[in-house]
Amino acid sequence: MSDPKKIHIEDVYKVYDGRAVLDNVDLCVSAGEFCALVGPSGCGKSTLLRLILGQEQPSRGSVLIEGQAAGFPDPRRGIVFQRYSLYPHLTVLDNVLLGRRLAQPWSWLPWSKPRPDDRDEAMDLLERVRLGDAAAKFPHELSGGMQQRVAIAQALIMKPPVLLMDEPFGALDPDTREDLQVFLLELWERERLTMFFVTHDLEEACFLGTRLLVLSQYYTDARGADAPRGGKIVADYRLSPTGTATAVKRRDEFKNFIHELRETGFDPAIRRHVKDFDLEHPDSFQTLTAEEYRRDGEKSAGNP
């Protein structure tokens, strides 16, 4: 590959206790994309994110980051979790600086000072997340929304090729949440980040994403009606940028689209066949196994 994609996942299975949580997942993400991943609870969203992060290894299949095996967690991926991203014993500034100081030999000595450039950069990042005043505070002195902004700054200082987020705004009240959504969009535009954002909030996903992925275990294939099925990407849309005005959320098309989405993947009663998934995004691809592909009654088999 001349220009490796930021994320390339092919034929990935993840099995827990004999049960497949991810079931032959394929996914490819280009640079600069804001991917939003939604799906019913327990479909394996966090599992997929942990595979990309390297926190867990696939049972089968390959996960590549910029063409290299994902391996274990390292600076090729930044991460913002829903909670516990900050180090309670470090001030806000030191939390943001941590990535830089870890790269500096001897910086563990209690009297070592951060390099002035690093300090300036961290302060600059803190200004950008509008927390310049809080630099000397400890994480427990901040509100939940402020903590998440620090966590984002902390991840950004590494300039990660891919920034992963697992329900980063899940524990926040609706106003703070909307505030941070706008903030994140601005940041994404300015920094040209590649984002992989997991949420269970469809509205949030449609507002933020340039690409919307639906992961779900509610689909059918040729393996028989009662066969256990793990999560698959059942829909993959390209979204037109909404801009940073939250008013768009109140528009009818927006609401209709979300309503439509609820029927793909979120309702156990409505299942599509693997060949009929809405995979309209240009990066989307699907490698089906012979068992999955054969339509009921058909004899032919094979990969398309």
Ligand X SMILES: Nc1ncnc2c1ncn2[C@@H]1O[C@H](COP(=O)(O)OP(=O)(O)OP(=O)(O)O)[C@@H](O)[C@H]1O
Site residues for Mg ion per CB under 5 A: 46
53 binds another protein (CB under 8 A): yes
45 binds ligand X (CB under 6 A): yes
115 binds ligand X (CB under 6 A): no
Q: What is the DSSP letter of 267?
A: -
> Which of 4, 32, 42, 73 forms a contact with another protein (CB under 8 A)?
73
Q: In the stretch 124-153, what mask flags binding to another protein with x, by CB under 8 A?
A: --------------xxxx------------
Footprint on residues 168-197 left by ligand X (CB under 6 A) = none
103 contact, one of another protein, Mg ion, ligand X, none, CB 5-8 Å limit per kind: another protein
Footprint on residues 193-212 left by ligand X (CB under 6 A) = 200
SS3 (DSSP) at 76: coil
Cα end-to-end span (Å), the chain:
22
> Which of 155, 198, 215, 222 forms a contact with another protein (CB under 8 A)?
155
Number of Cα atoms under 13 Å in the Cβ half of residue 189:
10
Q: Which tokens hold the place of 12?
A: 């990935």
Q: Tell me the residue number closest to ligand X, measured at CB.
A: 46
Binding segment (CB under 6 A) for ligand X, from list 38-46, 72-80, 154-162, 186-194: 38-46
Task: Report, in Å, the least distance between residue 32 CB and ligand X.
Answer: 25
Query: Rg (Cα) of the chain, in Å, rounded?
Result: 21
- What does the angle CA 207 – CA 213 – CA 217 come to, to the nearest 5 degrees? 130
83 binds ligand X (CB under 6 A): no
178: Cα separation from own chain's centroid = 18
> Which of 21, 36, 126, 150 forms a contact with ligand X (CB under 6 A)?
21
Contact 276, 222 (CB under 8 A): no
58 binds another protein (CB under 8 A): no
Number of Cα atoms under 13 Å in the Cβ half of residue 261:
25
Our CB check for another protein shows the closer of 67 and 75 to be: 75
What single letter denotes the amino acid at residue 147?
Q
102 contact, one of ligand X, another protein, Mg ion, none, CB 5-8 Å limit per kind: another protein
DSSP per-residue string spanning 179-246: HHHHHHHHHHHHHT--EEEE-S-HHHHHHH-SEEEEEES-EE-TT-TTS---BEEEEEEE-----S-G
Please give the C-alpha separations between residue 237 and each of 35, 152, 214, in angstroms, as whole numbers. Answer: 10, 26, 9
Binding segment (CB under 8 A) for another protein, from list 24-32, 96-104, 117-125, 239-247: 96-104
- What does the angle CA 296 – CA 15 – CA 77 come to, to the nearest 5 degrees? 115
Binding segment (CB under 8 A) for another protein, from list 35-43, 61-69, 100-108, 257-265: 100-108
Which positions touch another protein (CB under 8 A)? 53, 55, 72-75, 77-79, 81, 83-85, 87-89, 98-99, 102-103, 108, 138-141, 154-155, 158, 160
Chain residues that interact with ligand X, rule: CB under 6 A:
16-17, 21, 39, 41-47, 200
